[in-house]
Amino acid sequence: MSGVPPPRLAVIVPVRNEARFIEACLESILHDAPRGGIEVYVVDGMSDDGTADAVRGIARSDPRVHLLLNPSRFVPQAMNLGIAASSAPFIGRVDGHALVVPGYFAGCLQRLERGGLDCAGGVLVNEGTTPAGRAVAAATSSPVGVGSARFRTGQGGEAFVDTLAFGVYRREAFEKAGLFDETFVRNQDDELNFRLTRAGGRIMLIPSLQIRYFVRDSIGSLARQYYQYGYWKWRVFAKHGRFASWRHLAPSGFLIVLAALTLAAPFSALALRLLAAILGGYLLVVGGEALRLKLSRAVPWGSTAMALAVLHFSYGAGLLAALTGALLPGARHRTEAGPTRLSR
């Protein structure tokens, strides 16, 4: 009807093969509808597991839910389709394997409407559905595993940050920074937020606001995911000429030091001692953190220690592989461009 204002908030849900979670995800989003109304755009990347049919069924009974098709299958295209379809003044993102904790949207909008912010978001509460998944959830919530990524660890109070997951944006933020770069298979949120902060935008993390996020259910899938994160982090650097935070270089720097000492160890007793000391210290830190997580979260020690190490080594290897490809034009490196699950 003409003259009727749009809902206050549009939530975009990029999905592919999320039949297992999508109904619960949408229920949590709709249950958290803020004052002023909500509309939800599920943008399906050509699922073949019944996800689209499940969404159609929900949309038939709830006109706030809309299904859009995304032939490209990738997240940035999905987000841009949703932004174009909506005219709401605030735009949020939630993945299909996440659940919104009540109060999330109201809390984000409250901060945004005070002025001075372009994006607000909360903390991921990582969860797993298998023993290995619970180990992955613990590792990806630990400062030892993910460093100072506070939207994953939840440490500290409210603060301005360089990036976060599942933010709610003012529509004007996309006028300031532009839309999602559709060449980024991974790290598209980080790249957009980097442009936004460079344009003077401000992003606030509010740890009291939470979204439950279901992580990878195996160590192997975690390794592939973080390898891609590292690889595409270099693409952010290549585009902008700098990193949003130098913490992203720590895993690669660690691998370079280990490789250099390993090569030098046969010829230098000092290099051998340094290598033994660094590896010993690393194993103590990772093993100790895995023990702490085992006691506090009842997760398996071995899988958790492995997950922590995989986070470091896979991410670092991905960034180094991208750097090698950039420095050696003849080197060809192929990443997984089409994961079955569109996610962070």
The alpha carbon of residue 47 and the mean position of all alpha carbons in its chain are separated, in whole angstroms, by 21
Domains annotated for the chain, with CATH where assigned, are 1-97 (3.90.550.10), 101-331 (no CATH)
For residues 68 and 13, give the distance between their C-alpha atoms in angstroms, rounded to a whole number. 10
The encoded tokens of residue 233 equal 């982090």
Which residue from 162, 146, 125 is spatially nearest to 314, judged by alpha carbons?
146
| Rg for the chain, CA atoms, rounded | 21
* Contact between residue 216 and residue 222 where contact means Cβ atoms under 8 Å apart: yes
pTM of the model: 0.89
pLDDT number for residue 323: 87
* CB atoms inside a 10 Å sphere around CB 246: 9
**DSSP conformation letters of 257-299:** HHHHHHHHGGG-HHHHHHHHHHHHHHHHHHHHHHHHHHHHH--
- Residue ranges of alpha helices (H) inside the chain are 22-31, 51-61, 75-85, 104-113, 131-139, 143-146, 150-153, 171-177, 188-198, 219-240, 250-264, 269-297, 301-327
* Pairwise CA distance, residues 177 & 198, whole Å: 8
Q: Could you tell me the two tokens for 153?
A: 């660890």
Torsion angle (degrees, nearest 10) of CA 107, 22, 94, 2: -80
pLDDT of the chain, 344 residues: tens digit per residue = 456 678 999 999 999 999 999 999 999 999 999 999 999 999 999 999 999 999 999 999 999 999 999 999 999 999 999 999 999 999 999 999 999 999 999 999 999 999 899 999 999 999 999 999 999 999 999 999 998 888 999 888 899 999 999 999 999 999 999 999 999 988 899 999 999 999 999 999 999 999 999 998 999 999 999 999 999 988 888 888 887 667 778 899 999 999 999 999 999 999 999 999 999 999 999 999 999 999 999 999 999 999 999 999 999 999 999 988 878 765 444 433 333 334 44
β-bridge partners, 125: 212
For residue 97, give the nearest of 24, 12, 11, 189 by alpha carbon.
24
Distance of alpha carbon 145 from alpha carbon 293, whole angstroms: 11
- Of 208, 10, 184, 57, the residue nearest 122 (C-alpha): 208
| Burial call 212-245: b when 16+ CB within 10 Å, e when fewer | bbbbbbbbebbbbbbbbbbbbbbbbbeeeeebbb
pLDDT for 249: 85
Tokens encoding 235: 């693409």
Strand partners, 12: 41, 93
The 3-state DSSP class for residue 316 equals helix
